[in-house]
Amino acid sequence: MRQLLLDLLPPPAAPSLDNYVPGRNQALITTIRQQQRQTAEPPVNNTGMTTAPMHYLWGSEGCGKTHLLKAIAGGTGGRYLQQTSPLSDFDYQAGGTYCIDDIDSFNSTQLDAIFALYQAMLTNPLGQLWVSGPCAPFQLTEYAPQMRADLRTRLGAMLVWQVHALSEGEMAEALQEAASQRGLQLQPGVIGWLLTHWERSMPALLTLLDALDRYSLERRRAAITLPLLKDLLAESQ
């Protein structure tokens, strides 16, 4: 990122449910919050047996899966696991929350460890398992030829959620709300320009909004105008 923007930015906030814009994912957010309140009381399935909550999230790149998994891990004291995580982090501990991101990126040895973790949680119902991928479970071998068939089947048996990316209208509404919360007055054209010319993800857009907030204070501008935005970016080149 350009140096001027870096100088203007506050420390990035840790991913949380409070700084996630749900859009069409409100039911998922409600479920996550309920799950966080019920960590000590595992649910009962339709056979009358207790079972660890297991969820699979899928969606396009930038839809917010990583944000949600990091928020879940942070909110429960759990483990956020990715391709670079050591194998020992996949060992089951009673009551633990495991958030496995980008299941398609793991190698065969790591997938074996994930399968073992899943099996352990079947017989030890305390804890939670959250997994993300780029597609629905039955399509995983198209993205990850190394995927175990038995693991793919078990992922499909989890509660499966499609994570919907924000539409342009939802992003515009979220940006306007974020600006209002910061006491910023955005002039016409600013949001449209951001959605057309900047990275279309809410973290990136909100980061630039924070930089604009500080830049406008330095310039003693009461409103965020399109020329002011372009001045910031021009000075950052």
Per-residue confidence of the chain (237 residues) as pLDDT tens digits? 455 555 655 666 788 998 888 999 999 999 999 988 875 555 555 544 456 799 999 999 889 999 999 999 999 999 999 999 999 999 999 889 999 999 999 999 999 999 999 999 988 878 899 999 999 999 999 999 999 999 999 999 999 999 999 999 999 999 998 898 888 899 989 999 999 988 888 888 888 888 898 889 888 988 899 999 998 888 876
Give, to the nearest 10 degrees, the angle between helix 190-197 and helix 202-219: 130
Instruction: Mark whether 29 and 144 lie in a shared domain.
Output: yes
- Alpha-helical (H) ranges within 56-126 are 65-76, 108-123
Instruction: Mark whether 143 and 178 lie in a shared domain.
Output: no
User: For residue 12, what pLDDT is reported?
Assistant: 63
Among candidates 56, 52, 34, which has minimal Cα distance to 43?
Answer: 52
User: For residue 60, what pLDDT is reported?
Assistant: 93
Instruction: Mark whether 132 and 200 lie in a shared domain.
Output: no
Q: Which of 142, 162, 182 is the last residue of a domain?
A: 162
> How many Cα atoms occupy the beta-carbon half-sphere of 199 within 13 Å?
13
**Per the structure block, which two tokens stand in for 186?**
């955005």
Flag whether 41 is in a domain. yes
* Number of domains within the chain: 2
Flag whether 88 is in a domain. yes
User: For residue 82, what pLDDT is reported?
Assistant: 98
Instruction: Mark whether 79 and 137 lie in a shared domain.
Output: yes
The pTM score is 0.83
**Per the structure block, which two tokens stand in for 11?**
């420390």
Pairing of strands 128-133, 54-58: parallel
Which structural domain, as residue segments, surrounds residue 184? 166-235
